[in-house]
Structure formats: structure tokens, C-alpha cells
Amino acid sequence: MTEIAAVAEDLGRASLALARRFNAGATMWCTSPSWPFHASHVAVEFVHPVIVGKRALAAVTVPIGADVVATLRANVRPGDIVVALADSDDPQVVDAMRRGEAWGVETLWIGAGGERPRSGSADHVIWLDTDDPLEASECFVRIYHLLWELTHVVFEHPGLLKDDPNGVVCTEEVCITCSDEGRLTEVVSVAGDEAVVKALGIEERIDISLIDPPAPGDLVLVHAGFAIR
Amino acid sequence: MKETTDFLYPFIEGDETDATALLVDLAQSAEEKWAVSTELKVVTLARVEEQLRTIAALMAERFAAGGRLFAFGNGGSATDADGVAQLYTRPPSGRALPARSLVEDRAVITALGNDVGYDKIFSRQLIAHARAGDMAIGYSTSGNSENLLVAFAEARKRGLLTIGFAGIDGGRMGVDPNVEHCMIVLSQSVHRVQETQASATHVLWSYVQEALAARN
């Protein structure tokens, strides 16, 4: 059986982040295009706790067969959580995860075997070292059970629920956290040299004359009102 | 968890600000629970191996004769039923076999739950679909789910092979004659029960594949 030691710290950090997000009112969106039953299990675990007295948390499954990105784009609010159980080459999950920054969501990617998602693909990656699909499936059940159990352990530490290092939101004209690189936004519509883009739930009109014309849904980096990439 | 770790955190009033100690504790807790789960899996699979072989041989016979597998359960166990249907029909290796989850069709589930009663959401589907030679597998951690017991009774009446996956001490499923073969994971933890049930599900499936391969 796969050993837990390699991912125990990742699991702990993810649980702390989830508890903080839930505490601030997050909804957790669960998706697994290849194994939809796992996504359903994660959601029911958090909504309907097996231990009486534990609080019900807002978790929901992206409907089986639904367009993952379209469903999330329409529904997620900044501060939400997206959890995916998927291989690193699952096209729908790859596409959803790279939009996490623009949507303002905390992303957790759970998987096993093959290539690990490239660094920075998600806020949290829990990757198990097995290429056996059935063993991986058994490990997934353990991982999300532990995720639930540890998230509730964090709730017993109210002082630690407030300190969210990822909670920085750009509100000023010049953002000190991203002024050098720009902010990742998602294109809503394009008209000539201008586009409406959306980031962290807020739409703004930007100049796109410096880049090749983007299409709705594309991700563009915005700096001082201009798309720069 | 709470009882054993409270002494580590003298910040009950909410003024705790450094997560370092908590993160160490979370990782350690994960490792401990993982070890408990692995131990339960090893012990259980050793204890039920012969039982799973017996069930697999009977299932292989039925599959070979055109039998179909119906899976059901509630909550997390409903997702186990979905997983069974996926594993048998779209296996990572071996033969695809006919299997369906009776929790997948929300229109049917809500219609039956609303009009007939939640205790009959599976049995009514068996009345519509099942025939002698088919198989029924039901998942419950407590072994006490009313709608499973009603479904098993209906399945037996119709000549299905009936298989239960239960936990804790087997509950009512463990002693119900309508559950011909009840595999019980002896643990008080719902999570640990489900984890070993998942392993046993995979072992049973692999034995069915072996038994079918041996027939050819």
C-alpha cells in the first residue's frame, strides 16, 4: 500500500486552508470527470458528517457529465474552494485549475501515478505514488476522509482560522502584491481594442491593443488597465 | 482527537496565532489514521478471503449465464454503488460486465422516495428490472439501512444472489437470511469501514475476473 508519509504534510496544509475558507463562508466544489463517484463522496462527506455534532459544510459536486469549467465559472465566488480528483492530464481539470487565480478560489488537486501536475498548477497538490488504478482509488477514499477529519480538527483552533495568507485581494489602483507581473483575469467579451475581463468576481474594461486579440474565456494578464500577455 | 491533543494547545480562547504546532499534529494524525486503516484492511482481507472467493465463484457463474449486477447504498455507500457499476462495466483491465447502480437515476429515486417511500427506493427498481439469475450487492456501514433490507428481501424473492457489505458488527444485514453473503468490516469507525469495503470491493472484482478467465 502507498505510504502516507510523503503527503501527510500536504494533507495537513490543505486541511488548514480548507478550514479557513469554510470559516469565511466558502462553498467547496468537487469534481472528478474520470471517477465521478469520488467527487460525490467528497461532497456528501462534508455536507453530512458521519460524526453527530460536527458542523455541516457547504460542499457540492459538479454534475456528472457537465462542462467543468463552464459550471465553475458560472457558480464559484471568490473565496470558494475547488477540489479535483484527476490525472494530471485531465483536460477539463487542467483548464479549471489554471483559472483558479482569476476566479479567486483555493484549489486542491488530488491524484496518483503518472506525471505530477506541474508546479503551481494548484494551491495544494496531494499526489500519491502508485500507478495501480484500484490502489489509487482506495487511497483517494482515505485521503478525503482524512481531509474531512483534519479540517474539523482545525475548527477546534479558532485563533488559527483567521490568519489566511492567501486572503490578499487587489483593491487599489496600484497593487503592491502584483504590480510587477499583473493580475490574471478571464476575458468576458471583446470589442475592438477593448475587452471586458473578470477577476475575483469583478468585471473591468481593459485595453487589449498590446496583445493578439483574445477570445471570451481566455486568460490574460492585466497591468494598469492594459492586457500585457 | 480532541481529548488527546488539547494539552498541546493552551489557546482555547482563540488567541492562538501560530499554526506550526497544529500542522505537525495534523500530519502526525494523518499518518496514525492511515496506519489504522492499513491494519484494518490487512486483517479484514485475510479473514474474508475465502468468503470473497466463494462469492466471486457464484457471481462468475451468473455473469457467464447472462446475469447482471445491481448495486445500491445510501450516502457515501451510494457512491460505493456508483463505483461498483463503473468498475464492472468499465474495468481498468479484464472483461466488461453488466452492472448498474440503483442510485444513479435521480428521477427514479426522487419519484419512488416521494410517491412510495424512501424504504422502497431500491426494491421498487428491482421489481422493475431484476430477474432470476441476476445479483444484488448492497453497501451499508451500519448494516441497518431499512431500504437495503427491503431490497434484499425483494431480491431473494426474485432469485437474485444477494451480497451485503456491512460494518461495525454487521447490524441487521449480518443476521438477515435474505443477505446470503454478508461481508463485515469489524470497526466502529464509519470512515475506516468504508476504506476497507473499498479494498474488499476491488478484491472481489479481481476474483470474479479470475473465475471468469478460468472458465475459458
The segment(s) of chain A belonging to CATH 3.40.50.10490 are 5-160
Q: Which CATH architecture has domain A183-227?
A: Roll (2.30)
In this structure, is residue B209 part of a structural domain?
yes
Q: What pLDDT is stored for residue B10 in this prediction?
A: 54
Domain presence at residue B85 = yes
**In terms of residue numbers, what domain contains B156?**
20-215
Q: Determine the residue of chain A that is closest to B103 in CA distance.
A: A37
pLDDT at A170: 47
Q: Does B78 contact A138 at a Cβ distance shorter than 8 Å?
A: no
Q: How many CB pairs under 8 A join A and B?
A: 118
The reply to whether B13 falls in a domain is no
Q: Say if B2 falls within a structural domain.
A: no
Using the predicted structure, report yes or no on whether residue B192 has a pLDDT greater than 60: yes
**What topology does CATH give the domain A5-160?**
Rossmann fold (3.40.50)
8 Å CB contact of A40 and B28: no
Position B155 in a domain: yes
Residues of chain A with CATH 2.30.30.140: 183-227
| Cβ neighbours of A158 in B, within 8 Å | 14, 16
Q: Cell for B203?
A: 478484491
CATH number of the domain enclosing B138: 3.40.50.10490
Q: State the nearest Cα–Cα gap between B55 and chain A, in angstroms.
A: 20
- pLDDT of A145-194, one tens digit each? 999 999 999 999 999 998 555 544 544 444 555 556 789 999 999 999 99
Phi, psi of A199 (to 5 degrees): -145, 140
B79 with A40: Cβ contact below 8 A:
yes
User: What's this model's pTM, rounded to 2 decimal places?
Assistant: 0.91
Mind listing the pLDDT tens digit for each residue in B53-81? 999 999 999 999 999 999 999 999 999 99
Query: Smallest CA–CA separation between A178 and chain B, in Å?
Result: 26
Confirm whether B11 is domain-assigned. Answer: no
Q: What is the pLDDT of residue A4?
A: 86
Among B3, B8, B26, B103, pick the best mutation site for testing chain A contact (most A Cβ within 10 A): B26
Average pLDDT over residues A123-146: 96
Can you spell out the DSSP letters for chain A?
A: ---SHHHHHHHHHHHHHHHHHHHTTPPEEEE-SS-HHHHHHHHHHHHS-SSTTSPP--EEEPPTTS-HHHHHHHH--TT-EEEEE--TT-HHHHHHHTTHHHHT-EEEEEEESSPPPPTTSSSEEEEE----HHHHHHHHHHHHHHHHHHHHHHTT-GGGSS--TT-----SSS-TTTTTT-EEEEEEEEETTEEEEEETTEEEEEE-TTSPPP-TT-EEEEETTEE--
Asked if the structure places residue B130 within a domain, the reply is yes
Q: Which residues contact A186 (CB under 8 A, 6 or more apart)?
A: A73, A99, A102, A103, A197, A198, A199, A217, A218, A219
**Could you give the CA distance from residue B20 to residue B26 in angstroms, rounded to a whole number?**
10
pLDDT of B154 reads 98
Q: Given pLDDT bands bounded at 50, 70 and 90, which one contains residue B9?
A: low
Number of domains in chain B: 1
Contacts of B200 by beta carbon, 8 Å cutoff, 6+ apart: B44, B45, B48, B52, B165, B183, B185
- Cα separation, A207 vs A228, whole angstroms: 9
A165 touches chain B (CB under 8 A): no
Judge whether B119 lies within some domain: yes
Confidence class for position A52, pLDDT limits 50, 70, 90: confident
Residues of B in contact with A44 (CB under 8 A): 75-76, 78-79
| Mean pLDDT value across chain A | 91
What percent of chain B has pLDDT above 70? Answer: 93
If you average pLDDT over every residue of chain B, what do you get?
94
Most confident of the following: A119-123, B16-20, B164-168:
B164-168
